[in-house]
Amino acid sequence: MTLRECAAGSDPLSALWRDYLDGRMTQAVLFIGESGVGKRTFARLLAQALLCDSEKDAEKKPCGSCRGCRRFLARTHPDALFPAPLPKEKTIKIDALREMIDSLNRHSLEGGRRVVLIENAERMTPQAQNCLLKTLEDGAEDTYFILTCDAESALLPTIRSRCRIVRVQPWEAGRIEQALVKRGIPADRAKALSVFCEGSLGRALQMQDDASYWQARDTVKRSFLAVRGMGTLPAAAQALKDQKDNGDRLLDILEQEIRALLHAKSLGGDDRSDDFPPAWQEAPAASLCRILEAVLTARRQKYANVGWAALSEGLMQTISEETKTWQV
Ligand SMILES: [Zn+2]
């Protein structure tokens, strides 16, 4: 995906994209928005575009295949820095920032652009934030700082005031659906994507291009959603065979599907996925909530190393018992 595609439909992102094209990028940009609205996708693409060596015009960047892009994606680009929490830690500590500053100093004579990408910047400790602030104030030439943040209030006001703030808002499902149809995506897919992209057109487009996503959706439809009474269990179990490595994704999709169905029910509208057999569409909310609980239990079991066959069968048993109570 290019920056242009990712910015589509969002005024603040489009404005930033135009400034990038005109060479008017501010040195520090802070993306603020709820989790899942697409700010991280855009921030990563922007960082990659700044380091893309392709001869193509800026409008087509990042190209994804030049040396700069490949090294950025592999996280081996010497001029791309990603201060982040250490493994098993939740906060970004001052050491990570000091390491970044050392690295910036080391490369300062090499020329060329450098990009510092700090995702979940609110995770920086106050000491780390102060350290970053100092660097922002010094403003090294040709160095870009790109930050993303879910919780604005956790960032020092002095950091916020040093950055161009780009607020990324989630889109309504209907607007995303229209935008997708306009791009030639078939209506049924556009509808499904609009429900599951969590308000991010960029994510919807990514999902559209990801064949493995559609295969996983189909597997969920043929397994968990096809369960209706004991007789249907063997076929459903068969669909889940050899899906162990895909288990997290299948559970994610099932959870998203059920949440979207519950949401649609609460609104009384028809913003729902067509993946569900008719009986599910009429299922009582309390029963769907119990299934949702079972999905969460299955996920916990997966983390606790319970085998995929055992946990998926357990989940299908629960679904089977719930479907029995539906008066449809
Ligand atoms: Zn490139």
Using a cut of 0.85, tell me whether the model's pTM lies above it.
Answer: no
If you measure from the C-alpha of residue 78 to the centroid of ligand 1, how many angstroms do you get, rounded to a whole number? 15
* Alpha-carbon gap, residue 309 to 302, rounded angstroms: 11
If you measure from the C-alpha of residue 265 to the centroid of ligand 1, how many angstroms do you get, rounded to a whole number? 45
Task: Give me the domains of the chain, ranges plus CATH numbers.
Answer: 3-167 (3.40.50.300), 210-325 (1.20.272)
Identify which of 7-21, 117-131, 133-147, 184-198 has the greatest average pLDDT. 117-131
Q: CA gyration radius for the chain?
A: 23
Phi and psi torsions of 31, nearest 5°: -90, 125
Q: Decide: helix, strand or coil at residue 80.
A: strand
User: Average pLDDT, stretch 234-247?
Assistant: 92
| % of the chain exceeding 90 in pLDDT | 57
Tokens 């100092």 label which residue? Answer: 134
If you measure from the C-alpha of residue 106 to the centroid of ligand 1, how many angstroms do you get, rounded to a whole number? 24
If you measure from the C-alpha of residue 64 to the centroid of ligand 1, how many angstroms do you get, rounded to a whole number? 5
Q: Is the distance from CB of 40 to CB of 13 less than 8 angstroms?
A: no
* Alpha-carbon gap, residue 152 to 150, rounded angstroms: 6
Q: What is the DSSP letter of 148?
A: E
* Alpha-carbon gap, residue 271 to 194, rounded angstroms: 9
**pLDDT value of residue 269:** 62
If you measure from the C-alpha of residue 61 to the centroid of ligand 1, how many angstroms do you get, rounded to a whole number? 6
- Residue 146's closest CA among 65, 57, 62, 48? 48
If you measure from the C-alpha of residue 60 to the centroid of ligand 1, how many angstroms do you get, rounded to a whole number? 9
pLDDT of 134 strictly over 80: yes
